[in-house]
A and B are shown apart, each in its own frame.
Chain A
Amino acid sequence: MATLKVLIVDDEPGIRSGISRILKNFSVDFPFIDEAFTFESIEAGTGEEALDILNAGPIDIVLLDNKLPGIHGIEVLEHINQKQIDTTVMMITSYASLDLAIKATNNGAYNFVPKPFTPQELKTAMEGITKHVYLSRMTKQLNTEGKQIRFQFLSVLSHELKSPINAVEGYLRIMQDKQVGSNLEDYETMIDRSLERIRGMRSLIMDMLDLTKLENGKKKREITKVDLVQIARLSIDTMTPMAIQKNVKVFIDSDEPSVYLNADSSEIEIIFNNLVSNAVKYNVQDGSVTILIKSEGNKIKVSVADTGIGISEEDITKLFQDFSRIKNERTKGISGSGLGLSIMKKMVEEYYHGQVSVISEPDKGSTFIVEIPQNS
């Protein structure tokens, strides 16, 4: 239950206490809001008094009469507008002229209620204003949160992009200054590491592009009948060089030669590429990867099981966050952007209303399971 502070500004004590009484036993709720709103009244008999109260602390709603003994309501409104006080004003006035109405609206008054009004009229007006207050607050909050997330993302991204540049630059300077002598062979590790960092950066850029597609690419989606088995084969082809290096065997296990889904094939490729490349990358020498694709009831289930290093329970919770990389003795030297799984999960959930889950045991291996409803 949330309580909104209402400042009632009117020179007639009878009107003030009348409104207070009505609001005391009144609450507003909407089907889309979990909590009900109640009201706490604060009364002011003059515009000057109202300004003191407004300057002293937050007031959610102001019910403002125009004709007041000292400064007029419209001047109170101008002050609120100028000082950018965060409140919503409803004018209650019996001498409402068109001129005043325009002036008040220009100064940000939300609504007009002509006096005299019935309790029901006041309640209806309060419902409207409460909804307005709630919605504008929610919008504001969402905007700030959105900005925050974007900001954090950019700062981490700059860190992830600059680290490899710094590493390569550092090695090049060492070579330039011939710090370990003039034999090229002595710099071999540095050259290998530089190339590795450049590879890592390239994959980060590719992942970034995937993420950008995900964030603003809805209009460009091309939904066709996509054969998941075929896409899985393509992913395996892409990963073959790395699989050969580690002597990891990759198998497809599917009941049928083709399993179809209405989807955008480039998105499905991203999903499979992420699953298969992780399964190979985090595997052990001579390990294996088994890809299962099947249609189960009205959903499609894809699971990719590896015989790799596995993930601890604690690390699983961080697994799908942007830029999250599990750091331990066994992941040392494996490069990655930390974006792959986060992209894949977003894609499965947002575009296909599906789910991603993982079962893993350290030193035994991990199985990633993607389930997608067939008529999504």
Chain B
Amino acid sequence: METKKKTVLIVDDDIDSMTQLTMHMTKMGFNVISADNQKEGEELINANKPDLAIFDLMMDNKDSGFILSYKIKKKYPDVPVIIATAVTAETGMLFGLNTEEEKKWIKADLYLEKGLRYDQLEIEVGKLLNL
């Protein structure tokens, strides 16, 4: 029986990060649609309902990923969202979903630090999509 390919929306302004994510997700059997900035990301959200979304955090704006996450959850509350970023707690800047206030408007399901391993990514994606 042939199952329809699942679609993942990736928005990332780092071309290498995008290349690698696209490669891994394709390998996992996803159909990839992508944009490299917030504006085009928003357009894709308006035009498609993906099965999963992966957003970089800092793009045109420092919180582009959060904004995209908010917008996609407003339109499709059931689409799981992963925010992947190179920003970490090392500088004291916490960008996780820590406070209740943040959780209220940042609706991402998972927050991942970039430099993530392919196998980890596969496990996390599997969990989010109940595969």
A: residues with CB less than 8 A from B are: 151, 154-159, 162-163, 165-167, 169-171, 173-174, 177, 179, 193, 197, 327, 332-333
Residue ID in chain B nearest A332 by CB atoms: B15
Give B74-119 interface residues, CB cut-off 8 Å to A.
Answer: 85-88, 90-93, 114-115, 117-118
Give B11-39 interface residues, CB cut-off 8 Å to A.
Answer: 13-17, 19-20, 23, 27, 37
B58 within 8 A of A: yes
Contact A197 B117 (CB under 8 A): no
Q: A2 to chain B: closest CB distance in Å?
A: 32
Cross-interface CB contact of B115 among A157, A159, A165, A179, cutoff 8 Å? A165
Q: A159-B86, A163-B86 are in contact. Are A193 and B91 (CB under 8 A)?
A: no
B124 surroundings in chain A (CB, below 8 A): none
Contact B20 A170 (CB under 8 A): yes
Residue ID in chain A nearest B19 by CB atoms: A193
Residue ID in chain B nearest A165 by CB atoms: B115
A169 surroundings in chain B (CB, below 8 A): 115
If A197-B16, A332-B15 are given as contacts, then 20 extra A-B residue pairs at C-beta distance below 8 Å, sorted by A number, are: A151-B92, A154-B91, A154-B92, A155-B93, A156-B58, A159-B58, A159-B85, A162-B86, A163-B17, A166-B114, A166-B115, A169-B115, A170-B16, A171-B16, A171-B20, A174-B20, A177-B118, A193-B16, A327-B37, A333-B15
The secondary structure that dominates the B interface is loop
A162 surroundings in chain B (CB, below 8 A): 86-88, 114-115
A156 surroundings in chain B (CB, below 8 A): 58, 62
- In the bound assembly, the distance between CA atoms of A330 and B16 in angstroms comes to 17
- In the bound assembly, the distance between CA atoms of A332 and B14 in angstroms comes to 10
B63 within 8 A of A: no
